[in-house]
């Protein structure tokens, strides 16, 4: 029923258009009624472009006066149309007008399948109703970005890059930021910038997962921060390494980066070269809080008893000491120094032992002590370095250091 109604509406539109095209021709014909002639008369008030148009309007006005019946010449069988009495310029204009294309023919040749859109109030059949597919509504608010992926081209492209939206939405206001950004306008230029800095394609997803806030940063500000690092003689590969390992690095202003570099240089008494090398290997020193760093430096000096030059060696070789848990740092030192008898200078030579789990150190030391092989003095035979104690796998430790089988070690651990 709805299709039939639209078809009838289409036909009516075509008929009205055809009438509109035919109407001026009827006005020019001699067989037109007096009403039609009077309807044509108002055209005389339109501005004429040339004298020929004025002649034509006057002639038509003359014909419209009185009756539109045939002139006397028609009584003897020879009828002449009003156009034949017009001056030559008007005849030329008339000839030009008749060469215009027939718009009615074009309308009749129109595509009948091009049905105009239906009204929202029009009734439709059940068959048409079941074919309508409604688009899902965009939620006004949600606690997960998953509800917006189907509506956001930006989120879809970020997922294709490898961004984990489930992790991004856990970061404060990060989800809201992504929903306000356009990929082509806002995000694409940041991605190209990161690639130019040196972030690999397979690292872009994890990088943006950890630091989605960089997508809202001003590109000029980011370029200024990279230029500052270059001015401090950091190479391109070194900057790429620092940015990849510390995703928040480029969120820091130039002033803040400069203050951080100056802090570590002055507090540790390191040279410029060693300070650069320190932050290259552990760039999170530039992005983390300074309070834990200051506290650990005091713990090493006051509570653990290391000298300033020993602290320099500890931190330069193992920068993680500056961000380690104070409790864990003190417990590890206590076991190494007070129970195993390792002096300060030996700990300074092998500071990586502070990165090992205390349980691992204790189990292996107790097994060596059980076997009578717990010898950590380099001046004595059968010396075992702290690096060998903590870094070797269990199989290698048992066979090369303890001179025992892995089964013996496992049986010993069961007795603890």
Q: DSSP assignment of 143-211, as one string? A: S-GGGGGGG-HHHHHHHHHT--HHHHTTSTTHHHHHHT--IIIIIHHHHHHHHHHT--HHHHHHHHHH-
> CA-CA distances (angstroms) from residue 371 to 186, 209, 300, 404?
65, 50, 33, 9
Q: Please state, in angstroms and rounded to a whole number, the distance separating the CA atoms of residues 172 and 189.
A: 23
Quick one: pLDDT at residue 169? Answer: 86
Exposure class string for 79-105: b at 16+ Cβ within 10 A, else e: eeebbeebeeebbebeeeeeeeeeeee
Q: Please state, in angstroms and rounded to a whole number, the distance separating the CA atoms of residues 190 and 211.
A: 12
Q: What is the DSSP letter of 137?
A: P
Quick one: pLDDT at residue 321? Answer: 94
Domains of the chain, residue spans = 143-216
pTM of the model: 0.61
Nearby residues of 83 by Cβ (< 8 Å), 6 or more positions away: 28, 90, 91, 94
Quick one: pLDDT at residue 290? Answer: 92
> CA-CA distances (angstroms) from residue 291 to 262, 274, 283, 295, 298?
16, 22, 17, 6, 11
Retrieve residue 99's tokens: 């060469």
CB 157, CB 183: distance < 8 Å: yes
> CA-CA distances (angstroms) from residue 206 to 34, 168, 216?
85, 10, 17
Quick one: pLDDT at residue 123? Answer: 72
Q: How many CB atoms lie within 10 A of CB 247?
A: 23
DSSP-H helix ranges across 29-152? 34-40, 51-64, 88-98, 103-108, 126-130
Instruction: Please give the torsion angle defined by the CA atoms of residues 74, 75, 76 and 79, in that order, rounded to the nearest 10 degrees.
Output: 10
Quick one: pLDDT at residue 121? Answer: 63
Q: What is the mean pLDDT of each run of 10 residues along the chain (416 residues)?
A: 50 52 47 40 39 43 40 40 42 45 47 52 70 55 63 86 90 87 94 95 94 95 97 95 95 95 93 94 93 94 94 94 94 96 94 94 96 92 92 94 95 92
Q: How many CB atoms lie within 10 A of CB 163?
A: 23
DSSP per-residue string spanning 217-267: S-HHHHHHHHHHHHHTT--HHHHHHHHHH-TTGGGS-HHHHHHHHHHHHHH
Quick one: pLDDT at residue 319? Answer: 94
Retrieve residue 81's tokens: 């149309």
């Amino acid at each position: 029923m709805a299709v039939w109604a639209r078809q009838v509406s289409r036909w009516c539109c075509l008929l009205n258009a055809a009438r509109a095209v035919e109407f001026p021709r009827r006005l020019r014909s001699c067989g037109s009624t007096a009403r039609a002639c009077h309807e044509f008369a108002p055209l005389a008030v339109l501005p004429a472009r040339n004298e020929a148009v004025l002649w034509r309007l006057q002639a038509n006005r003359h014909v419209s006066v009185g009756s539109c019946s045939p002139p006397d010449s028609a009584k003897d069988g020879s009828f002449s149309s009003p156009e034949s009495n017009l001056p030559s310029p008007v005849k030329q204009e008339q000839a030009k007008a008749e060469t215009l294309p027939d718009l009615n023919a074009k309308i009749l040749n129109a595509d009948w399948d091009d049905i105009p859109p239906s009204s929202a109030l029009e009734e439709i059949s059940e068959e048409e109703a079941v074919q309508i597919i409604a688009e899902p509504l965009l939620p006004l608010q949600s606690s997960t970005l998953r509800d917006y992926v189907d509506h956001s081209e930006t989120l879809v492209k970020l997922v294709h890059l490898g961004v984990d939206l489930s992790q991004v939405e856990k970061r404060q206001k990060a989800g809201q930021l992504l929903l306000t950004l356009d990929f082509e306008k806002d995000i694409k230029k940041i991605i190209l910038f990161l690639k130019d800095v040196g972030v690999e394609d397979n690292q872009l997803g994890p990088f943006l997962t950890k630091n989605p806030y960089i997508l809202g940063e001003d590109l000029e500000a980011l370029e200024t921060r990279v230029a500052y690092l270059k001015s401090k003689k950091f190479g391109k590969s070194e900057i790429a390494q620092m940015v990849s390992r510390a995703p928040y690095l480029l969120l820091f202003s130039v002033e803040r980066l400069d203050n951080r570099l100056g802090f570590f240089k002055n507090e540790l008494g390191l040279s410029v070269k060693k300070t650069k090398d320190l932050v290259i290997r552990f760039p999170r020193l530039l992005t983390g809080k300074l309070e834990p760093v200051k506290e650990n430096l005091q713990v090493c000096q006051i509570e653990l008893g290391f000298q300033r030059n020993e602290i320099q060696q500890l931190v330069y070789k193992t920068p993680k000491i500056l961000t380690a848990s104070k409790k864990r740092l003190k417990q590890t030192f206590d076991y190494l120094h007070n129970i195993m008898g390792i002096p300060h200078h030996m700990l300074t030579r092998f500071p990586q032992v502070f990165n090992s789990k205390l349980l691992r150190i204790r189990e292996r030391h107790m097994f060596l002590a059980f076997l009578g092989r717990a010898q950590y003095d380099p001046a004595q035979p059968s010396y075992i370095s702290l690096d060998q104690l903590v870094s070797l796998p269990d199989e290698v430790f048992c066979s090369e250091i303890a001179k025992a089988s892995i089964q013996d070690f496992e049986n010993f651990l069961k007795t603890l």
